[in-house]
Amino acid sequence: MKNVDIRIAIKEAGLTHWEVASAYRLHEGNFSRLLRNELGDEGKRKVIEALEIAKKEKFG
C-alpha cells in the first residue's frame, strides 16, 4: 500500500478521506487515485496541510 503514513495520519486524526479531499479541493475518487502512487515530499506536505484544515473544520 502506498502513502501509508498519510493514511495513518488521516485515521489518527479521526477524519475520513472525503473530508481531507474536500479540504484539498478534490473529489473523493480523485483523492483516492492521488494516493495510489507514492507522493513526493511536496505532495505529502500539501495533503498534510489539507488534513490540518479538515481537522480544524471538523473539531474546531
Residue 56: what pLDDT? 98
Q: What is the pLDDT of residues 7-41, one digit of tens each?
A: 999 999 999 999 999 999 999 999 999 999 999 99
pLDDT, residue 21, reads 98
pTM comes to 0.94
> What are the helix (H) ranges across 1-60?
4-12, 17-24, 28-34, 41-59
pLDDT score for 33: 98
Which pLDDT band holds residue 43 (cuts at 50, 70, 90)? Answer: very high
For range 34-52, the mean pLDDT: 98
Name which of 18, 24, 22, 30 is nearest 44 in CA terms: 24
Q: How far, in Å, CA of 60 to CA of 49, rounded?
A: 15
